[in-house]
Amino acid sequence: MITRSLSDLWPFFALKVRTPRVTLAYITDEMIPALVALADDGIHPAGSSPFSTSWSLEPPNQRSTSMAQFYWRSRSTITPDAWHLTFAVVADGTIVGSQDAFAKDFHKTKAVTTGSWLAQSHQGRGIGTEMRRAMLHLLFEGLGTKVAHTEAFESNLASRRVTEKLGYQSNGSSIELRGDDVAERSIRYRMEQDQWVTIQQDDISIEGLAPCLSTLGLDSQTTT
């Protein structure tokens, strides 16, 4: 009897993006406790939220359950019509945050949206820029993305600085409720493929992507 590994059954478990400073590693069950611990230690100042949902403000026991459910749900619902890829951000051998990307009908639109969070204890070291650059490399270089979207509340200066530093263009705004039920202006940004080419770096590598493409509705002919 031939026993196959989990990454044979679900190739995304072997998907990684490496830069000189960080690695994006598709989230496995073994990584979830470390991500929960980071959230428990703090992602943002207590009582406020930079996110559009309240997950980070939940009581620890409730948050740990909802985080696990989120990662399992994101994994189990991937289809060519809608997918959500979740990555742990690893720096110096330690998980420090999460970077994700989600899309609908990507195989037709080639448009994707990204989101992320970084533990407070690891902020201010340039990791936020590096992990976003890694994700953009996967999207544009690996998947053939045409336009990448992201969004941040006006008060989330750290996220907006990363976005603007990488060359995204402003794409309007709207008033939205934050996770702490406070209404605030949310700033939208977009990056087109021709802008990505101007900031692209050759020191980023992608591992394990080819076996994942068919699940995303792609093949080697549809990527760059």
pLDDT tens string 156-203: 898 999 999 999 999 999 999 998 888 999 999 999 999 999 989 899
Task: Please state which of the ranges 48-62, 123-137, 204-218 shows the lowest mean pLDDT.
Answer: 48-62
By the 8 A CB rule, do 34 and 93 touch? no
pLDDT at 51: 81
Sorting pLDDT into bands at 50, 70 and 90, what band is 210? very high
By the 8 A CB rule, do 90 and 96 touch? yes
Q: Output the CA angle 54-51-64, nearest 5 degrees.
A: 45
Q: Is 41 left (phi over 0), alpha (psi -120 to 50) or beta?
A: alpha
* 223, pLDDT greater than 50: no
* Mean pLDDT of the region 76-82: 96
Task: Please state which of the ranges 72-76, 90-94, 185-189, 217-221 shows the lowest mean pLDDT.
Answer: 217-221
| Residue ranges per structural domain of the chain | 6-146+203-216
Residue 160's Cα: distance from chain center in Å? Answer: 15
Structure tokens at 171: 């794409």
Percent of the chain at pLDDT exceeding 90: 76
* Mean pLDDT of the region 81-88: 97
* 89, pLDDT greater than 70: yes
* Mean pLDDT of the region 31-38: 96
The reported pTM is 0.93
Q: Output the CA angle 4-82-177, nearest 5 degrees.
A: 125
By the 8 A CB rule, do 99 and 22 touch? no
6-146+203-216: CATH topology is Aminopeptidase (3.40.630)
* 224, pLDDT greater than 70: no
CB atoms within 10 A of CB 187: 21
By the 8 A CB rule, do 198 and 186 touch? no
By the 8 A CB rule, do 215 and 204 touch? no
